[in-house]
Amino acid sequence: MSLTALYKGHFIDTPTPGEFRVRKEAVALVEEGKLLALEKEVPARFSSFSVTDLGEGVVIPSFIDLHVHAPQHMQMGAGLDLGLFDWLENLTFPGESRFADEDYARKIYPLFAAELLRQGSLRSVVYGTVHLESTLILAQALMDQNAPDDLKETSEASFKGSEAFCRRLAGQDRVRPIVTPRFAPGCTEKLMQALGRFSQRLDLPVQSHLSETLPEVQWVSQLFPESRSYTDVYNDYSLLGPASLMAHAIFLSDEEIDLILERKATLVHCPCANINLGSGIMPLGRYLDRGVSLGLGSDVGAGHTLAMYRSVVQAVQVSKLLRILRPQENHRAVTLSEAFYLATMGNGKFFTRQGWGPCGAFEPGMSFDALSIDMGLPEAVNMSPLNHLERFLYSGDDRDIKTRILAGREL
Ligand code: GUN
Ligand code: FE
């Protein structure tokens, strides 16, 4: 295989959240999986190479899912009239405990990996279960699909499992571990302390859930009376820093936002899950304006689809709802380009920070991760590339994703 590849198409990305950047009829020069340049024409020195035509639709950076539960894929959509605690107890914990059976994991996890790929999420940060062997099967399934990341979930008795998991993943280049205290109410102080130290000692990222529902916030204040707030709980156990991903973060006080900013932690918005479980609405516009590091996740199975383009639209929609419902609080609507930025460039910053190399847009030096989209519109419609992308984000589906490219490799 040649290390150089040329692709032509209408390229759209969001190097900054403020607006879509459209480069019509451009040629991407890709070398060793990275974008060298996006040119108007094929430069003379590349004239001997053939050019792959990515079609009349649009080419966008592939999606990144920053918060998704692999073992919940099969329960997607089930029991969503319940609130968080009842949903966890009645659907989620029983469903996850089935992964004690490795044969079950072997049957189920490849389907999850295939669906991520089908929906155009070529990188992801994933929760497994406490079962070591099954979660290694998940890691393998994700590697086989070329979706590069997987993680390990740890609960009380399984700190040893975390160490074993990291040891077993050592040397893998497409999957890496992340320390995962599920959420503060599910962890003892001892476990949180051990995981905090562990993540620091091995320089590993951390993921958890933060402030998703009001009853949960209340519960945490009773369980951890020594900590000033829910956010402080993670901070007190050395689990809050630049490599921490905290999902939901709906009910944060100003002091908690200050702490998130100070620690440079990333908040992961999961609008689909928040609506399904009736949890609340994250004030995303406010966080963006305060300069908080943000990402976007499907949160399947509380979210009901792995399609990140759905989460992009939902982020916009719930921000409009928040403005409508609480006019006295001056919330603003988030724009489509801001939400798209989160699902690509914003989420990509986690991978960049973690040493995977830059990704998330079509900038020189970035990993060439791309999807070609074509909604098959009649020629007479003559739609602009940007309108074509907007139409896909709102009303397209996986059938419109024609090509998937990760690090210059067509999948
Ligand atoms: N809080 C603790 N565990 C979970 C989970 O699996 N999903 C969601 N949405 N919230 C959680
Ligand atoms: Fe979650």
Q: SS3 letters for 272-336? A: HHHHHCCCCCCCHHHHHHHCCEEEECCCECCECCCCHHHHHHHHHHHHHHHHHHCHHHCCCCCCH
Q: Are residues 144 and 40 in the same domain?
A: no
CATH number of the domain bearing residue 41: 2.30.40.10
Boundary-marking domain end, from 334, 350, 372: 334
Residues 236 and 104 grouped into a single domain: yes
Nearest-atom number in ligand 1 for the CA of 301 is 7
Domain assignment present for 268: yes
CATH of the domain at 223: 3.20.20.140
Domain assignment present for residue 258? The answer is yes
Which pTM does this prediction carry? 0.95
* Nearest CA owner, ligand 1 atom 3: 182
Residue owning tokens 């990140």: 308
Instruction: Pick the closest to residue 411 from 71, 33, 68, 74 (CA basis).
Output: 33
Give the pairing of strands 409-410 and 266-269: unpaired
Task: Report which bound ligand comes closest to the CA of 298.
Answer: 2
- Could you tell me if 18 and 124 lie in one domain? no
Compute, in angstroms, the gap from residue 279 CA to the centroid of ligand 2.
Answer: 12
Count of alpha carbons within 13 angstroms of residue 203, beta-carbon side: 3
On the 0-12 / 13-18 / 19+ scale of CB atoms within 10 A, 103 is exposed
Distance 189 CA to ligand 1 centre (A): 19
Residue 342, domain member (yes or no) = no
Asked whether residue 247 falls in the same domain as residue 364, the answer is no
Shared domain check, 192 and 68? yes
- Are 99 and 28 part of one and the same domain? no
Contact 181, 199 (CB under 8 A): no
Please indicate, yes or no, if residue 288 is contained in any of the structural domains. yes
Clarify whether residues 131 and 23 are in a common domain.
no
**Same-domain pairing of 89 and 167:** yes
Q: Which residue's structure tokens are 């024409």?
A: 41
Residue 348 lies in a domain: no
- Closest ligand by atom to 66 CA: 2
Ligand nearest 247 Cα, by number? 2
Confirm if 28 and 38 have CB atoms less than 8 A apart: yes
The two tokens of residue 362 are 């079509």
Dihedral over alpha carbons 377, 317, 88, 204 (to 10 degrees): 80
Q: Which structure tokens are listed for 45?
A: 């020195």
Answer yes or no: is 316 within a domain.
Answer: yes
> Distance, CA 270 to ligand 2 centroid (Å)?
8
Tens digit of each residue's pLDDT, the chain (411 residues): 458 999 999 999 999 999 999 999 999 999 999 999 999 999 999 999 999 999 999 999 999 999 999 999 999 999 999 999 999 999 999 999 999 999 999 999 999 999 999 999 999 999 999 899 999 999 888 887 543 343 333 344 557 777 888 888 877 778 999 999 999 998 888 889 999 999 999 999 999 999 999 999 999 999 999 999 999 999 999 999 999 999 999 999 999 999 999 999 999 999 999 999 999 999 999 999 999 999 999 999 999 999 999 999 999 999 999 999 999 999 999 999 999 999 999 999 999 999 999 999 999 999 999 999 999 999 899 999 999 999 999 999 999 999 999 999 999
**In a 3-state reduction of DSSP, which class is residue 266?**
strand
Q: Residue 290 is part of which domain span?
A: 63-334
**Same domain as 281, residue 230:** yes
Closest ligand 1 atom to the C-alpha of 270?
A: 9
Sort residue 409 into left (φ over 0), alpha (ψ -120 to 50) or beta: beta
Distance 10 CA to ligand 2 centre (A): 35
Q: Comparing C-alpha atoms, which of 360, 408, 371 is closest to residue 16?
A: 360
Q: Is residue 90 domain-shared with residue 215, that is, in the same domain?
A: yes
Q: Kindly list the protein residues that place their beta carbon closer than 5 angstroms to ligand 2, a single-atom ion.
A: 299
Among candidate residues 334, 351, 383, the one where a domain is terminated: 334
Within a domain: 150: yes
Q: Is residue 92 part of a domain?
A: yes
CB distance 161 to 152 below 8 Å: yes
Q: Are residues 68 and 214 in the same domain?
A: yes
Residue nearest to atom 9 of ligand 1 (CA): 302
**Measured CA distances, 168 to 135, 143, 165 (Å):** 11, 14, 5
Same domain, 193 and 264: yes
The reported pLDDT for the residue numbered 2 is: 57
Domain count of the chain? Answer: 2
